[in-house]
Structure 1
Amino acid sequence: MLLVRPPGVYSPQADTELLTACVRREALGGSSRVLDLCTGTGAVALAAARTGALVTAVDLSARAVAAAWCNTLLHRGRVRLYRGDLLDPIPDERFDLVTANPPYVPAGPDRRGPGRGAALAWDAGPDGRLVLDRICRTVPRVLTGGGVLLVVQSDLADVPATLALLRAAGLRTSVVARRRQPFGPVMTARAALFEQLGVIGPGEREEELVVVRGVREP
């Protein structure tokens, strides 16, 4: 799918593809309400919109929201777009499906805040969980009964922690997709840091992408 992607906006990659494939397996229709967090170019939101679902997409980056707006026009997608921090723009709404491809790259002990510029799409604090933890703690409350959360992350950002937090929030959880792949440029540049943090072994240059699915009981 052709997408507009200005500089500084996250390019759809393997994690986007993995998450999109999982969205296509969900039972969505014209009455389904979908929220796509950290939407970037809007690729996942557009995949959900093609099912006829009512889709809302949110991103903290103004450039990302502009790119997603252009892409919804280009592909005639029915998507509401907001610039904001996760659930802030839609605090009182409920959704049948929430998707998220958040920043999840560990940035080391000296980088405790979110990234800046393009790095906003991948820098996620010392251990990669700066945004993941917030999603796990806040998204369950906006799910309808039987509603689903799909979140994609790297195994370098502690998948068991995601599963545990979602279970603590009352969701039934499982890993529904995996993909092993070599490090890309950002991960490669931080390989020595990852070794120091103990999240990879010496000389290891691969990660596993994982999609976690959480379901709120009806």
Structure 2
Amino acid sequence: MRGVRVPDEDGSTTQRALPDPSGVAPWPEGGRPRPGPVVRLPGVYRPQTDTLLLATAMRREGIRRGMDVLDLCTGTGTLALHAARLGARVTAVDISRRAVASARLNTALARLPVTVRRGDLLRALPGRTFDAVVSNPPYVPAPGLSAPRYRAGRSWDAGPDGRVILDRICDDAFAALRPGGLLLLVQSGLSRPEETVGRLSAAGLDVSVTDRVTIPFGPVTLGRVAWLRAQGLLRDHPDREELVVIRARKE
């Protein structure tokens, strides 16, 4: 493929060749990974286990034709494309210019009608409501009081407790859902899923943890083991973390 003007996070652009596909593709209607290209510009989150876990939950929970679905923190757009393949009308949002460019390129390559918007979570769509909201947000605990703005870590770093983005999604979810609407959210056990459940319940949603999987630490988390231990965030396993999908429905 030819080169493109790649957006930088400070608003400028740089001419680059398109990167090689990551090898992890959007999911077809059957809900399983398949070979195929995904464009992932530098600094954009690579779809991996948490992406697959949430995609599986989306199909099981009935994302289907005719639904209006919002994918928050879309990254490459993989989950948005999965929802579109299930027949939903999909809007995808990310604050990163490179993520938005990646998602738009992948949408064009897949020839699926996903609307991709750049913006700060639900502030990008004031007043809009949806039948379902899905999100694989940044959730890795990191030194610093806020999420980074201009480096690759913004795809995963989420403040000292990993909840800078999670708390905002929890606080805004009720207003973004239509009656009967569904929120599906994936996060790490390091960022306190019980806090997510409590916040969503307090907001008036019916909440449960539907999926759990334990995986080895990735390179980012391995590099923070000493810091995580000092913060009291490492519990039972010094080299593994649990990923969970949290389901919340508006009655």
**Normalised by the size of structure 2, how large is the TM-score?**
0.83
User: What is the aligned partner in structure 1 of residue 145 from structure 2?
Assistant: 112
Quick one: distance in 1 between partners of 2:208 and 2:111?
33
1:90-119 CA-partner distances (Å, limit 9, x unpaired): 1111101100111111113xx012123211
| Paired letter, 1:92 | G
Query: Contact 2:64/2:83 (CA < 8 Å) preserved in 1?
Result: no
Query: Contact 1:100/1:151 (CA < 8 Å) preserved in 2?
Result: yes
2:83 equivalent among 40, 48, 52: 48
User: What is the aligned partner in structure 2 of residue 191 from structure 1?
Assistant: 225
1:8 aligns with 2:43: yes
1:126 equivalent among 153, 156, 160: 160
1:150 equivalent among 166, 184, 190: 184
Describe the SS at the equivalent of 1:57: strand
2:74 equivalent among 26, 39, 46: 39
Quick one: distance in 2 between partners of 1:101 and 1:17?
10
Deviation (angstroms), 1:29: 3.1
User: What is the aligned partner in structure 2 of residue 81 from structure 1?
Assistant: 116
Q: Which runs of 5+ in 2 are unaligned?
A: 1-24, 26-36
User: What is the aligned partner in structure 1 of residue 102 from structure 2?
Assistant: 67
Seq. identity, %: 51
Quick one: distance in 1 between partners of 2:235 and 2:212?
20
Name the CA shift for 1:153/1:203 in 2 (closer, same or farther; >3 Å): closer
Quick one: distance in 1 between partners of 2:186 and 2:205?
16
**Normalised by the size of structure 1, how large is the TM-score?**
0.96
Deviation (angstroms), 1:24: 1.2
Quick one: distance in 2 between partners of 1:202 and 1:51?
38
Quick one: distance in 1 between partners of 2:231 and 2:147?
19
Deviation (angstroms), 1:202: 8.7
Q: Which runs of 5+ in 1 are unaligned?
A: none
Quick one: distance in 2 between partners of 1:204 and 1:76?
43
2:248 equivalent among 205, 214, 218: 214
1:91 aligns with 2:126: yes
1:52-82 CA-partner distances (Å, limit 9, x unpaired): 1110000000000000000001111211110
Describe the SS at the equivalent of 1:17: helix
User: What is the aligned partner in structure 1 of residue 20 from structure 2?
Assistant: none
> What RMSD in Å do the two structures reach over aligned CA positions?
1.2
1:180-209 CA-partner distances (Å, limit 9, x unpaired): 000000000011111001111497010000
Describe the SS at the equivalent of 2:180: strand
- The structure with the largest alpha-carbon Rg is 2
User: What is the aligned partner in structure 2 of residue 166 from structure 1?
Assistant: 200
Deviation (angstroms), 1:28: 3.0
Quick one: distance in 1 between partners of 2:79 and 2:60?
13
Question: How many residues matched?
Answer: 215
Of structures 1 and 2, the one scoring higher in RCO (CA 8 A, sep 6+) is 1
Moved over 3 A (4+): none
Q: Tell me whether 173-182 or 113-122 shows the greater mean CA deviation.
A: 113-122
Quick one: distance in 1 between partners of 2:46 and 2:87?
25
Quick one: distance in 2 between partners of 1:205 and 1:9?
25
Q: Tell me whether 189-198 or 114-123 shows the greater mean CA deviation.
A: 114-123
| Paired letter, 2:225 | A
Deviation (angstroms), 1:173: 0.5
